[in-house]
């Protein structure tokens, strides 16, 4: 699993524990929540997919975000 390289929307490499910022408002499926652009998400976890990361926010736990909507903080 160490060969997987995960990159944000700007092409910056991401690692476990990084903080990222949303570059677009995102609706969270299954809830009425919308994560606003500029929201800081701390302590991400990489998954086996190169275009997804797992994280928790104050409002939503166990969230999977696509890297195309993130930039490294």
pLDDT tens for each residue of the chain, 73 residues long: 567 899 999 999 999 999 999 999 999 999 999 999 999 999 999 999 999 999 999 889 999 999 999 999 9
Closest Cα partner for 5 from 39, 42, 53, 40? 53
The predicted pLDDT at position 17 comes to 97
Domains parsed from the chain with CATH numbers: 6-72 (2.30.30.40)
> In this predicted structure, what is the pLDDT of residue 2?
60
> How does 32-51 read in b/e, with b if 16+ C-beta sit within 10 Å?
eeebeeebebeebebeeeee
Give the residue among 32, 28, 14 at the shortest CA–CA distance from 73: 14
């Amino acid at each position: 699993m160490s060969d997987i390289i995960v990159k944000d929307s700007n092409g910056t490499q991401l690692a476990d524990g990084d903080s990222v910022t949303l570059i677009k408002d995102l609706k969270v499926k299954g809830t009425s929540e919308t994560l606003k652009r500029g929201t800081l998400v701390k302590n991400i976890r990489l998954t086996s997919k190169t275009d997804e990361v797992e994280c928790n926010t104050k409002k939503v736990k166990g969230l999977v975000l696509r890297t195309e909507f993130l930039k490294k903080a």
